[in-house]
Amino acid sequence: MHNIARNICCAIYIGFLCTFGIAQQQQRTLVLHGSVVTPDEVITDGFVAVQGEKITGVGIFSSRPLGTVVETNSVIYPGLIDLHNHITWNLFPRWRQNVEFSNRYDWQQRTAYSIALSTPHAQLFREGLACATNRYGEVKAIVGGATSTVGTLNDACIVGLARNLDFYSGFYGKEINQEKLRYEVFPMQVASDQASQIRNDLQSGKLTSYIVHLSEGKPTDASAAREFNMFQAQGFLRPGVSVIHAGALGRAQFKQLATNGVGLIWSPRSNIELYGATTDVSSAKQEGVKIAIAPDWSPSGSDGLLQELKYVATWNMGQNPPVFSDDELVKIATLYPAQLARVDDKIGSIKQGLYADLLLIRKSEQNAYQNLFHANPADVRLVMVNGVAIYGDSDLMHEIRGAYQLQALTVCDTKKLLLFDSVAGLPASWNELTQLLNAKLNRWGSSLAPLTQCNSTNQN
């Protein structure tokens, strides 16, 4: 057993080197030239210097360091951080019922949900395709601009592309399941001894972030609202905790969240499609609750964070007055989720010394903030994780990393290149992965969802 465990750890470490660690083998300095969005300002003619896995400099291009200059023709942002997702479900098409539900327990017990989603999902897992579903969902997240996610498998096959903050971020060593973030879908089912252990782990620092679904449903739903009292009784109103959805909470509860340092993760598109309404984020913000956004999952939410950000920006413009400023709309997908996950000393900003998790978007608007939340997935020029170019347009991908392990895919009729490093449990190529999943879904009356919804015909 010890040898088996050692071999698994070695495989994980090798997989990490083949993706995240490649940049460390190329100790050249890359100087990315473009407009740069830092936490405090926009540098119109700026640079981000990357060596190995870290950002080594940020500033005005005229004062750039020595290195290989890459003309990006882009606005350079921190990679987007997704703190609420269900990655293995994101291969399914959108689930449209044309009915408003009361709470999450309402739709989960419907026969239509079982036929369209839960039964095929369970069958894919029985057939040994859990890793394949996770990898598809992970690529989908990257196409939507995310460099970090939660809601993945607890399996060695997740090592590779995006950071998996709940099971393998790469921050805490070479083994999976060493994270300081815990993600809970059903916190009301946590036993009392488990709740006690979680509180102790938060107190000691073994856990720094506890992210849980809470009070999901219509604002008027009594059963969803009652979860708050149960959660409070468990002693979870404390710093390091963030709640997802909170659709049935009001100003008084948001005041308690803020007083106790509890954050909010907001998924408005999924809320509105399932329940016809979403969280009162205006009250939450006024009470001082820190808010991040996340797409939830593709069946009822957005395909990725970039798409959810556009949805939020559209919602925001319909409010009088708007709840968020332009710079806040960028921060709720970058800096604020990093702060809620307690990893803002590592990612979430473009600063010297932080990890080089970057998102480059084609420059189409003068306002750099609006350039992000009005962007489409086809506008993604490059996604970089840990200093490694993972996905993007062919010119930047080839210039930065050559042709090593790159595979072609089409997003919104636009050709892109992806670093697809197969690991144990996965097909050898992207095409093989998508063909396998589509064939299996067809057997159960479904089909593989596109990586993102586009106005024109979309291909995987």
Domain boundaries, the chain: 2-78+364-443, 81-340
Instruction: Answer yes or no: is pLDDT of 458 > 80.
Output: no
Instruction: Answer yes or no: is pLDDT of 110 > 60.
Output: yes
The fold for domain 2-78+364-443 equals Urease, subunit C; domain 1 (2.30.40)
Give residue 7's pLDDT band: very low, low, confident or very high (50, 70, 90). Answer: very low
- The residue type at 177: N
User: So what's the pLDDT on residue 357?
Assistant: 98
Give residue 208's pLDDT band: very low, low, confident or very high (50, 70, 90). Answer: very high
Task: Give me 314's structure tokens.
Answer: 């559209």
Sheet holding 146-149, edge to edge: 80-81, 146-149, 163-164
pLDDT digits (tens, 9 = 90+) for 147-161: 999 999 999 988 879
Give residue 358's pLDDT band: very low, low, confident or very high (50, 70, 90). Answer: very high
C-alpha distances (whole Å) from 78 to each of 207, 261, 360 are 25, 24, 9
- Closest Cα to residue 278, out of 217, 231, 333, 338? 217
Instruction: Answer yes or no: is pLDDT of 11 > 80.
Output: no
Residue showing tokens 């556009």: 310
Q: Which of 67-81, 99-113, 290-304, 396-410 has the lowest mean pLDDT?
A: 396-410
Q: How many residues would you count in the chain?
A: 460
User: So what's the pLDDT on residue 144?
Assistant: 98
Query: What is the second-level CATH architecture of the domain 81-340?
Result: Alpha-Beta Barrel (3.20)
SS3 356: coil
Q: Do the domains spanning 2-78+364-443 and 81-340 agree at the CATH topology level? A: no
Cβ–Cβ < 8 Å for 451, 391: no
User: So what's the pLDDT on residue 455?
Assistant: 64
What's the rounded mean pLDDT across residues 328-352?
A: 98
pLDDT digits (tens, 9 = 90+) for 421-453: 777 678 889 999 999 999 999 999 999 999 998
